[in-house]
């Protein structure tokens, strides 16, 4: 049995009414560790165990570390997770709750990742949070599940951080013969390396991560994500932190599921009627989840924000 579960695919009446089109939700927030990450990370960890590895070392902004710790606990393999200082106390606690050793290092994921890489020994497996073909193969299973229902959406909406989910969805679309399906990507201002890279026609590196959506906080997307963006129809959208937080609040009211701003970025496209959705009648939204936020944190973030002139760009 895989470490992930098959998640529900539901039509969202609130989001469908908000957009004037049918919005379908793939509820990855219901995965046992709280996000889609367990699909790919679970597959990778199972592979490494078969190769004889005795310890997992991961770097993470939060959710990938939680998934790696969850996988290690279920596979009886010790796990070390290195997170940056920006990782919330809630995420740190959830990693420890799964029994993993937690190391906090650096201001950003890039610094945490460098330390994690330096810790590897011969019997260790490195569990990357987004840049690994094993992860993409595992994440692709969420599209397999959608295809198995016999329904084919007109477009897919998903959030992009380092690009792992995007690569996995692209693989899922490819292996189900849906290569022509547009992908609408969502990021927040200050964590928008993917949109900037597409605009510049080259992989861009952010000077710093200034968004509260730290789960999107890779300064540069993986090379595979950038390459795939040039091979299929992709429509990047960037939203404000406030729009993402407001979407999280509305989604909690509408569907009784709490997600973090990294996921709220995608939901904001529906709630704010993004122009990128125009022309598509049936839209699949990947509710990627995330457990690094809480209701109190959402309220704090919102209280500290000023209303921007534009929430979508």
Final residue in a domain of this structure, among 62, 94, 129: 129
Final residue in a domain of this structure, among 129, 149, 170: 129
How does residue 292 score in pLDDT terms, banded at 50, 70 and 90? confident
Q: Are residues 273 and 283 in the same domain?
A: yes
Q: Are residues 223 and 145 in the same domain?
A: yes
Question: Model confidence over 117-173: pLDDT tens digits?
Answer: 999 999 999 999 999 999 999 999 999 999 999 999 999 999 999 999 999 999 999
Residue 308 has pLDDT above 60, yes or no: no
How much is the CA Rg of the chain, to the nearest whole Å? 18
Residue 284 has pLDDT above 90, yes or no: yes
Angle at the Cα of 260 (from 36 to 59), degrees rounded to 5?
60
Beta-bridge partner residues of 242 = none
Q: What CATH number is given to the structural domain containing 27?
A: 3.40.50.1100
Q: Are residues 149 and 192 in the same domain?
A: yes
Overall number of domains in the chain: 2
Q: Supply the pLDDT for residue 307.
A: 53
Q: Are residues 66 and 196 in the same domain?
A: no
119 inside domain = yes
Per DSSP bridges, beta strands 79-83 and 55-59 are: parallel
How does residue 196 score in pLDDT terms, banded at 50, 70 and 90? very high
3 inside domain = no
Element (H, E) at 127: strand 124-127
Question: Which residues have C-beta within 8 Å of that of residue 264, sequence separation ≥ 6?
Answer: 213, 243, 244, 245, 246, 247, 248, 251
144 inside domain = yes
Q: Are residues 70 and 193 in the same domain?
A: no
Average pLDDT over residues 111-120: 96
Q: Supply the pLDDT for residue 312.
A: 52
Q: Supply the pLDDT for residue 61.
A: 85
Q: Are residues 124 and 205 in the same domain?
A: no
313 inside domain = no
Q: Are residues 174 and 204 in the same domain?
A: yes
Beta-bridge partner residues of 27 = 287
d(CA 191, CA 176): 30
Number of C-beta neighbours around residue 177 at 10 A: 10
Asked if residue 129 lies in contact with residue 162, where contact means CB atoms within 8 angstroms, the answer is: yes
117 inside domain = yes
Q: Are residues 105 and 154 in the same domain?
A: no
312 inside domain = no
Q: Are residues 285 and 238 in the same domain?
A: yes
Q: Are residues 60 and 106 in the same domain?
A: yes
Q: Supply the pLDDT for residue 311.
A: 46
2 inside domain = no
Please name the residue ranges forming H helices in the chain. 13-19, 37-50, 63-75, 89-97, 109-118, 133-139, 141-147, 164-175, 193-200, 223-229, 241-255, 261-271, 295-303
Q: Are residues 84 and 25 in the same domain?
A: no
Q: Supply the pLDDT for residue 52.
A: 97
Q: Are residues 114 and 189 in the same domain?
A: no
CA distances for 130 relative to 18, 61, 134, angstroms: 32, 11, 10
How does residue 306 score in pLDDT terms, banded at 50, 70 and 90? low
Final residue in a domain of this structure, among 109, 129, 149: 129
Domain of residue 140 covers 9-36+134-303
């Amino acid at each position: 049995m895989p470490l992930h579960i098959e998640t529900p695919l539901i039509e969202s009446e609130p989001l469908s009414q908000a957009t004037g089109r049918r919005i379908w939700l793939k509820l990855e927030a219901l995965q046992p560790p709280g996000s889609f990450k367990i699909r790919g990370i679970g597959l990778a960890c199972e592979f490494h165990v078969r190769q004889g590895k005795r310890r997992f070392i991961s770097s993470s902004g939060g959710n990938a570390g939680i998934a790696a710790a969850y996988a290690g606990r279920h596979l009886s393999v010790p796990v070390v997770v290195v997170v940056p200082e920006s990782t919330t106390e809630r995420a740190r606690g959830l990693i420890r709750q799964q029994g993993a050793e937690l190391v906090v290092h650096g201001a950003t994921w890039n610094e945490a990742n460098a330390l994690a890489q330096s810790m590897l020994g011969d019997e260790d497996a490195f569990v990357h949070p987004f840049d690994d073909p094993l992860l993409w193969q595992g994440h692709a299973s969420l599209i397999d599940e959608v295809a198995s229902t016999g329904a084919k959406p007109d477009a897919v909406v998903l959030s992009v951080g380092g690009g792992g989910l995007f690569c996995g969805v692209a693989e899922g679309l490819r292996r189900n013969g849906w290569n022509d399906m547009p992908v609408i990507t969502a990021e927040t201002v200050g964590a928008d390396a993917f949109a900037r890279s597409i605009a510049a026609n080259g992989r861009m590196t952010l000077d710093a991560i200034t968004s509260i959506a730290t789960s999107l906080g890779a300064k540069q997307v993986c090379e595979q994500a950038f390459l795939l963006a040039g091979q299929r129809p992709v429509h990047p959208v960037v939203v404000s932190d406030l729009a993402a937080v407001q979407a999280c609040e509305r989604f909690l009211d509408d569907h009784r599921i709490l997600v973090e701003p990294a996921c709220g970025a995608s939901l904001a496209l529906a709630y704010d009627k993004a122009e990128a959705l125009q022309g598509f009648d049936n839209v699949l939204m990947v509710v990627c989840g995330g457990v690094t936020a809480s209701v109190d944190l959402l309220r704090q973030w919102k209280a500290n924000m000023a209303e921007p002139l534009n929430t979508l760009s």
